[in-house]
Structure 1
Amino acid sequence: MMKRLVLVLSLSGATGAHADAVADVWKAKCTVCHGGDGKAQTKMGQKESIGDMSRPAWQQSRTDADIRKVIADGDPRNSKMKPFKDKLTPAQIDALVGYIRTMKAPTAP
C-alpha cells in the first residue's frame, strides 16, 4: 500500500496530504466493488464480474482516457458503475487514474 502511495505521489507531483486524499477517495468510492487492491475479489466484484485491475492485460487494454471516462461517466456495460463526474473533481478523477495504474502486478521476467 505504501509503495502505491509513493508512486502516486511521484506520478502526480502530490504531497502527503494529496496522496492520503486519493487513498481515502478509493476507500470511500471504489473498494466495495474493486477491493483495496483492484482485484475485485469482493462480493459485488464477483457478482458483477468486474475485471482485475492488477492484471497486466487489463492495464494494457485501457488508456488513461478510457479509465477517466468510466470513472466520470460510468460504464455502459455495467449499470452498477455509476458516473462520478458530479461527485469528484477532475483532479480527484485524474488522481484515481494514477492510483489504478499503481495496481499493475509485476510481470514475470
Structure 2
Amino acid sequence: MRLLRELAAAVVLLVIVGVLARSGVGRFVLPVVGLAVVAALVALLSKRPAYPRTAVGPRTRIIESAVESADVACVECGSPATARRRYVREWVVLGVPVVLLDDGENPVCDAHRD
C-alpha cells in the first residue's frame, strides 16, 4: 500500500514538472526549484550522518544511558532498572535523519539489557 502511495506521488510530481516545463512560468519556477533541491542536498550532506551514507528509508536507533534514580522499575520484570534505552525511529535520507516517526524510553535492568 505504501509503495502505491509513493508511486502515485512520483507520478503527480512528474505531471506537475511536465506542465511547468511546457508553460512560460516554468522558465522561472523550475530553476528556482532546482536550486532549492541542490541547496537541500548540500545541507543534508554537510551534517554528520547518524547512519551510513547509503541509508535511505525508515531506520531505528537505540541510545542507552544510565538511570539516575533508584525508584525506576524495569519494564520487563519490575526490578530496579540500571539503564534507560531511548529508541528513535526516523526517516533517513543519505544517512541523515529527516523526519522523526516514533520515539520513546524503556528502563531496563541488567538481566534484560540484551
- Normalised TM-score (structure 2): 0.25
Question: Greater helix share, 1 or 2?
Answer: 1
Q: Which has the higher contact order (CA 8 A, sep 6+)?
A: 1
Of Structure 1 and Structure 2, which has the larger fraction of its residues in strand? 2
Q: Which has the larger radius of gyration?
A: 2
What is the TM-score when the length of structure 1 is the normalising length? 0.26
